[in-house]
Chain A
Amino acid sequence: GQNIDQPTEMTATEGAIVQINCTYQTSGFNGLFWYQQHAGEAPTFLSYNVLDGLEEKGRFSSFLSRSKGYSYLLLKELQMKDSASYLCAVLDSNYQLIWGAGTKLIIKP
């Protein structure tokens, strides 16, 4: 079966750095997406990785290792507005998006 694992909840302090991990087992791989979803709102696209390595976009970076079936989202200089759920999603061989359950990130002052 297809499976995506990410922690249910994480807590971090304002101004700090947090890494949200995602491991996956899917039938084929055509890329991995990270989305941010604030409570009561729709998800917004953060990043897309299809090749191994680190993609940096401002305070957010996303890393991929295809051989390990592993990705992480790194958030630097945390702000209170970063409190949200972060969703990892993998595009399988049929270009179907397989969603993780999301990681709820709580930022404390």
Chain B
Amino acid sequence: GAVVSQHPSRVICKSGTSVKIECRSLDFQATTMFWYRQFPKQSLMLMATSNEGSKATYEQGVEKDKFLINHASLTLSTLTVTSAHPEDSSFYICSARVGENQPQHFGDGTRLSIL
């Protein structure tokens, strides 16, 4: 149980393109979903927390107009990287949890490369 699907797994695109990443909880309803970014050999960095039906809470330093998050249902959250540039190239990972004291279960991640 507790499977989280993230799609696509890899994206390579030109600078200026907007990229949409989907995160789905397949066998449970996720009250909260999280978006992380991880640069090579560095720690996970939380970008934002989203609850179904409400606006995402962004961490300090994360531009909400650049990283658009939509949590339309209890099983789906999307992250759109708008007008991506090479410095946005990173490993983006979503996670979902059922309740506050439940573990976060992670998707497989999306490797984004902006040329």
* Chain A residues in the interface with B (C-beta under 8 A): 30-31, 33, 40-45, 48, 50, 87, 91, 95, 97, 99-102
Q: Decide if A87 touches B44 in the complex (CB within 8 Å).
A: yes
CB pair A91 B101 closer than 8 Å: yes
A-B contact count (CB 8 A): 38
Cβ-defined contact, A95 with B103, below 8 A: no
Interface size on B, residues (CB 8 A): 16
CB distance from A103 to the nearest CB of B (A): 11
* CB atoms of A45 and B100 under 8 A apart: no
Q: B101 touching A95 by the CB < 8 A rule?
A: yes
Q: Is the CB of A42 within 8 A of B108?
A: yes
| Cα–Cα, bound, A91→B6 (Å) | 24
Is there contact, CB below 8 Å, between A45 and B108?
Answer: no
**For residue A102, which residues in chain B have a CB less than 8 angstroms away from its CB?**
43
Interface residue from A33, A42, A48 paired with B109 (Cβ < 8 Å): A42
17 more A-B contacts (CB under 8 A) besides A42-B107, A45-B2, A91-B101?
A: A30-B101, A33-B103, A40-B91, A41-B109, A42-B93, A43-B44, A43-B93, A43-B106, A44-B106, A45-B104, A45-B105, A48-B103, A87-B44, A99-B43, A99-B44, A99-B46, A101-B43
Query: How far, in Å, is B76 (CB) from chain A's closest CB?
Result: 18
- Tell whether, in the assembled complex, residue B107 and residue A45 are in contact, meaning their CB atoms are under 8 Å apart: no
Taking a contact as CB atoms closer than 8 A, the residue among B44, B46, B101, B107 that contacts A50 in the complex is B101
CA distance A50 to B102 in the complex (A): 11
Instruction: Please name the residue on chain A nearest to B109 by beta carbon.
Output: A42
Q: Which of B34-92 contact A (CB under 8 A)?
A: 43-44, 46, 91
Residues in A with CB closer than 8 Å to B44 are: 43, 87, 99
Min distance, Cβ A89 to any Cβ of chain B, angstroms: 8
The complex places the Cα of A87 from the Cα of B2 at a distance, in Å, of 19
Q: Measured between alpha carbons, how far is A9 from B63 in the docked complex, in Å?
A: 33
B104 touches A97 (CB 8 A): yes
